[in-house]
Amino acid sequence: MNVHDTLFWFFSIAMLLCGVFVIANRNPVASAMALVLMFLFMAGLFVLLEAFFIAAIQVLVYAGAVMVLFLFVIMLLDIKASERRRFAFLGVFGGIVVAGAFVWEMRIILSQPVIPLQSGNTDLSAGLENVVKPLFQHYMLPFEVTALLLLVAMVGVVLLSKKDLK
């Protein structure tokens, strides 16, 4: 087993452990922190795939911004009340259904023959062009439409959060 594989297994197992910790922990802040750690390990996996841009964005957006906002909201909630929360049977049922569906999907995917990716340059220069060129050349329209959708959603949120609509 070479360094690459060792790192892969380390990141994967650590990620799964963090994932379990997210749902197993009763303290929402601890869960959020575990999720942050999970994003970091996921970024590690992206680095192993030589997708440095995605790795950086993963940390920057998810770990650095989204989760901080999550934490911000969680900390403003009354944590003690949710710690005492009863066991939610509906939630458990829903979780099992989703997990089952996921396992079924995985079974379909894993039954396909594995095609190894072509690993090219090992220096740290790859990354940005591979993401940006297709995005701005082939998929310009979907990209712009997505941006517009996000803008609409944002305007909607601002409008809804105003208490007195005129």
Binding footprint of another protein on the chain (CB under 8 A)? 29-30, 33, 36, 43, 52-53, 56-60, 63-65, 68-69, 71-72, 75-76, 124-128
Nearer to another protein, 2 or 112 (CB): 2
Task: Please report how close the Cβ of residue 57 comes to another protein at its closest, in angstroms.
Answer: 7
How far is residue 53 CA from its own chain's centroid?
Answer: 15
CA distance 166 to 160: 11
Task: Please report how close the Cβ of residue 140 comes to another protein at its closest, in angstroms.
Answer: 16
Nearer to another protein, 41 or 58 (CB): 58
Task: Please report how close the Cβ of residue 11 comes to another protein at its closest, in angstroms.
Answer: 16
Task: Please report how close the Cβ of residue 129 comes to another protein at its closest, in angstroms.
Answer: 9
Task: Please report how close the Cβ of residue 65 comes to another protein at its closest, in angstroms.
Answer: 6
Nearer to another protein, 19 or 64 (CB): 64
Nearer to another protein, 12 or 29 (CB): 29
CA distance 91 to 94: 5
Nearer to another protein, 18 or 59 (CB): 59
